[in-house]
């Protein structure tokens, strides 16, 4: 198992390196499977920024071990910006409210208040394909 974990760690590092804005989340942006992931997606969507999203559910426990090792953080969602862990849902929301998130992402703060809760959590069973990590 040690070899597999090493590979997963390398793959996660690569994903973080290759995606300036990367969200590890439960479910997908169109069908989040957790309220905290959903709220983080709503904030990101409201910023109008492109981001990569990785569904952690198919590999939850191994990924926890990996992010614990590389970022000292085990819970999801996790938002990485320019290779650094910015935080989970509460930090992202807080930074959105203060305008720091727009600054970090290099975009304009969207007009209006906090993003509307308009993305419903799907009632369907989890159907997304397993996380695919592409090699370089």
Partner 1 sequence: MAADLEELKGMIEAALPGSSAEVIDETGTGDHLRAEVSAPQFEGKSRIDQHRLVKAAVRERFDDGTIHALTIRILG
Of 25, 53, 86, 131, which one interacts with partner 1 (CB under 8 A)? 86
Shortest reach from residue 92's CB to partner 1, in Å: 10
Dihedral over Cα of 103, 105, 63, 1: its sign:
negative
In whole angstroms, give the CA distance from residue 66 to residue 13. 9
Mark the segment that binds partner 1 (CB under 8 A) among 18-26, 44-52, 72-80, 107-115: 72-80
Query: What distances in angstroms separate CA 126 from CA 23, 39, 44, 119, one per listed residue?
Result: 18, 18, 22, 16
Of 41, 85, 105, 131, which one interacts with partner 1 (CB under 8 A)? 85
**Taking CB under 8 A as the rule, does residue 91 contact partner 1?**
yes
Q: What is the DSSP letter of 59?
A: G
In whole angstroms, give the CA distance from residue 126 to residue 87. 25
Shortest reach from residue 88's CB to partner 1, in Å: 8
Please give the residue ranges that form the binding site for partner 1 (CB under 8 A): 36, 72-75, 85-88, 90-91, 94-95
């Amino acid at each position: 198992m040690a070899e597999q974990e090493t590979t997963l760690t390398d793959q996660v590092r690569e994903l973080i390196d290759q995606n300036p804005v990367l969200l590890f989340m439960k479910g997908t942006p169109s069908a989040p499977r957790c309220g905290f992931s959903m709220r983080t997606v709503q904030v990101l969507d409201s910023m109008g920024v492109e981001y990569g999203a990785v569904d952690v559910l198919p590999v939850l426990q191994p990924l926890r071990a990996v992010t614990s090792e590389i970022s000292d953080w085990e819970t999801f969602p996790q938002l990485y910006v320019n290779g650094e862990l910015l935080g989970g849902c509460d930090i992202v929301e807080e930074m959105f409210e203060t305008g720091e998130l727009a600054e970090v992402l290099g975009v304009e703060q969207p007009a209006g208040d906090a993003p509307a809760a308009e993305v419903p959590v799907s009632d369907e069973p989890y159907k997304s394909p397993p996380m695919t990590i592409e090699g370089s």
